[in-house]
C-alpha cells in the first residue's frame, strides 16, 4: 500500500524522514536487545540459586550431626544385642545348672543382674539419641522439600525465560529485516554520518530540533545558533552544539 505521507513529501523531507525512521528502528532494536539480556527470569534464577546455596550449608551441618547420632545409636544397639545374647546364654546355663555349686550359681546370678542393668542403661541412652535425632530429621525433610520446590520453580522459570527469549528473537529478526530494507533507501551521506555519531554516542545519533531545543540532549541552543540554522539550506548537515547529535530541523521534514 502506498504511503500518502511519503508520496507528498519533498525529496529532502523523504531523505530526513528515512533517517529518523532508521533511528526509531535502531532504538527499538536496542530496547529489544536490552530486554533480552535483562530478563526478569535471570534475576529470579539468581535469587533461587542464592537461597539454595545458603540452605546447603545448613543441610550439610544437619547431615553431619545426623550421621554422628546414627553411628552412636548403632553402637548402643550393638551393645544391647551382645548383652542380650550373653544374658540368654547365662539364663540357659542357670536353667541347666541344677545341682551346681551355690557359689557358681550366685556368680551367674550376679552377672545376669549386671547385664540387665547394662541393657537398661544402653536402652535409655539409645532413646536419648533418638530424641535428639527426631528434630534434626524433621528439619532435614523440610529442607529437602524446600529444595525440591525450588528445583520445580527453577525449571518453570527457565521455561518462561526460554519462551520470552524466543518471542524477543522473533521480534528482533522482524526489526532487523525491516532495518536491512530501510537502510538500502537511506541517503549514503546521512547514513555514514549517522553511523559515525552512533559509534561515539551510542544508540541515539540523530535528534529533532524542537524550537530551540535538541530532542537528543534536551538542551536549548543559543538564539544566535537557532538563527544561523534557520538561514541554512535544508540539505546542510548540522550537529547540536551540546551533544554532537545530528539535528533535524522542522523545515527539513516538510
Ligand atoms: Zn543535543
Going residue by residue through the chain (254 aa), what tens digit of pLDDT does each one get?
445 544 567 888 999 999 999 999 999 999 999 999 999 999 999 999 999 999 999 999 999 999 999 999 999 999 999 999 999 999 888 888 777 788 888 898 999 999 999 999 999 999 999 999 999 999 999 999 999 999 999 999 999 999 999 999 999 999 999 999 999 999 999 999 999 999 999 999 999 999 999 999 999 999 999 999 999 998 899 999 999 999 999 988 88
d(CA 20, ligand 1 centre) in Å: 15
Give the predicted TM-score (pTM) of the model: 0.73
DSSP-derived 3-state class of residue 90: helix
The total number of residues shown for the chain amounts to 254
d(CA 29, ligand 1 centre) in Å: 22
Neighbours of 76 (CB within 10 A): 19
Closest CA to 172 of 7, 37, 50: 37
Q: How far apart are CA 101 and CA 129, in angstroms?
A: 42
Closest CA to 236 of 252, 253, 217, 212: 252
Domain coordinates in residue numbering, the chain: 40-181, 187-254
Q: What is the pLDDT of residue 254?
A: 85
Handedness of CA 223, 226, 231, 236 (dihedral sign): positive
In Å, how far from its chain's centre is CA 222?
Answer: 48
Neighbours of 77 (CB within 10 A): 14
d(CA 187, ligand 1 centre) in Å: 22
Residue 206 belongs to what H/E stretch?
Answer: strand 206-210
Q: Which residues are paired to 207 by β-bridges?
A: 247
Neighbours of 133 (CB within 10 A): 17
Q: How far apart are CA 25 and CA 20, in angstroms?
A: 9
Q: Which residues are close to ligand 1, an ion, with C-beta < 5 A?
A: 214, 216-217, 240, 242-243
Closest CA to 85 of 119, 129, 109, 124: 119
Top CATH class, 40-181: mainly alpha
d(CA 244, ligand 1 centre) in Å: 6
d(CA 243, ligand 1 centre) in Å: 4
For the record, the C-alpha cell of 90 comes out as: 547365662
For the record, the C-alpha cell of 35 comes out as: 530486554
Q: How far apart are CA 75 and CA 78, in angstroms?
A: 5
d(CA 208, ligand 1 centre) in Å: 9
Q: For strands 206-210 and 213-214, give the pairing.
A: antiparallel
Q: What is the pLDDT of residue 2?
A: 45
Q: Cell 529532502 sits at which residue?
A: 12
d(CA 197, ligand 1 centre) in Å: 12
The end-to-end CA distance of the chain, in Å, is 22
Q: Cell 554516542 sits at which residue?
A: 201
For the record, the C-alpha cell of 22 comes out as: 532508521
Amino acid at each position: 500500500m502506498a504511503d500518502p505521507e511519503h508520496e507528498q513529501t519533498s525529496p529532502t523531507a523523504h531523505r530526513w524522514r528515512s533517517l529518523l525512521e532508521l533511528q526509531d528502528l535502531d532504538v527499538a532494536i536496542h530496547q529489544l536487545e536490552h530486554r533480552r539480556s535483562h530478563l526478569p527470569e535471570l534475576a529470579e534464577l539468581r535469587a533461587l540459586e542464592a537461597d539454595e546455596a545458603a540452605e546447603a550449608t545448613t543441610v550439610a551441618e544437619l547431615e553431619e550431626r545426623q550421621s554422628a547420632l546414627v553411628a552412636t545409636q548403632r553402637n548402643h544397639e550393638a551393645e544391647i544385642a551382645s548383652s542380650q545374647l550373653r544374658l540368654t546364654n547365662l539364663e540357659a546355663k542357670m536353667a541347666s545348672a541344677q545341682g551346681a555349686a551355690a557359689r557358681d550359681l550366685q556368680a551367674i546370678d550376679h552377672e545376669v543382674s549386671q547385664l540387665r542393668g547394662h541393657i537398661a542403661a544402653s536402652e535409655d541412652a539409645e532413646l536419648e539419641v533418638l530424641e535428639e535425632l527426631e528434630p534434626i530429621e524433621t528439619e532435614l525433610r523440610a529442607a529437602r522439600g524446600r529444595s525440591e520446590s525450588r528445583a520445580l520453580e527453577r525449571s518453570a522459570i527457565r521455561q518462561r525465560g526460554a519462551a520470552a527469549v524466543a518471542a524477543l528473537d522473533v521480534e528482533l529478526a522482524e526489526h532487523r529485516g525491516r532495518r536491512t530494507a530501510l537502510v538500502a533507501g537511506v541517503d549514503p551521506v546521512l547514513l555514514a554520518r549517522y553511523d559515525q555519531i552512533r559509534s561515539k554516542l551510542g544508540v541515539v545519533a540523530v535528534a529533532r530540533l524542537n524550537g530551540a531545543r535538541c530532542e537528543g540532549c534536551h538542551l536549548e541552543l543559543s538564539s544566535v545558533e537557532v538563527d544561523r540554522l534557520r538561514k541554512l539550506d535544508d540539505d546542510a548537515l548540522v550537529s547540536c552544539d551540546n551533544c554532537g547529535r545530528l539535528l533535524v530541523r522542522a523545515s527539513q521534514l516538510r
